Amino acid sequence: MYVFDATPLIYLATVDRLGMLTEFEDDRLVPERVYDEVVTVGLDAGHADARRVERAVEDDVLTVATVERTEPFERLAANDSLSEADAAVLALAAARDGTGVMDEQYGRDVAAAEGIETRGTAYLVLRSLKRGAITAEAARETIDAMVDAGWYCAPDLYAKLLRRIEDFA
């Protein structure tokens, strides 16, 4: 099961690639706090990506999940460097033995300390490529479009991603 933070949803929606998530047989959950941050706030601000995420939920590509205020959630939420949405992603991933999907390094470091598996947006693109859901060309276009839209990707990671994509070509 995958539990999504805002950044992967926003950038996959921005480049109109949320549909590739249907190839993932695992549950694809979005904590309510993340949904509110991406969709409710995003629609109010007029962001097209917010409507795409909303449609992905309507089409059962993604499922909105409630995160109980358990001790692990409260402990994570008490960390001033994590948003409540980040805490919700990690708490839900821990509670359901899932994988948190987030790009922010600090959140991933906290997850590692808590024993919670994480992956990033690039992983989703590479996994879709590996499973044949998208072509190498589409994977490259997706990464480039996300970078053009403002997704941060360190130069060394970008080069590594391109090599991995070429390995599948």
The verdict on residue 50 lying in a domain is yes
What are the residues facing 103 on neighbouring strands? none
The verdict on residue 58 lying in a domain is yes
Tell me the residue type at 150.
G
- Domain count within the chain: 1
Least Cα distance to 39 among 48, 8, 1, 146 occurs for 48
Q: What is the CATH number of the domain that holds 64?
A: 3.40.50.1010
The verdict on residue 129 lying in a domain is no
User: What range defines the domain where residue 83 resides?
Assistant: 2-121
The verdict on residue 143 lying in a domain is no
Can you spell out the DSSP letters for the chain?
Answer: -EEE-HHHHHHHHHTT-GGGGGG--S-EEEEHHHHIIIIIHHHHTT-HHHHHHHHHHHTTSSEEE-----HHHHHHHT-TTS-HHHHHHHHHHHHTT-EEE---HHHHHHHHHHT-EEE-HHHHHHHHHHTTSS-HHHHHHHHHHHHHTT----HHHHHHHHHHHHHH-
The answer to whether 2 touches 63, Cβ cutoff 8 Å, is no
The verdict on residue 130 lying in a domain is no
The verdict on residue 150 lying in a domain is no
The verdict on residue 29 lying in a domain is yes
The verdict on residue 64 lying in a domain is yes
From first to last of its 169 residues, what are the pLDDT tens digits of the chain?
999 999 999 999 999 999 999 988 889 999 999 999 999 999 999 999 999 999 999 999 999 999 988 888 999 999 999 999 999 999 999 999 999 999 999 999 999 999 999 999 999 999 999 999 899 999 999 999 999 999 999 999 999 999 999 998 7
Looking at residue 24, its pLDDT comes to: 84
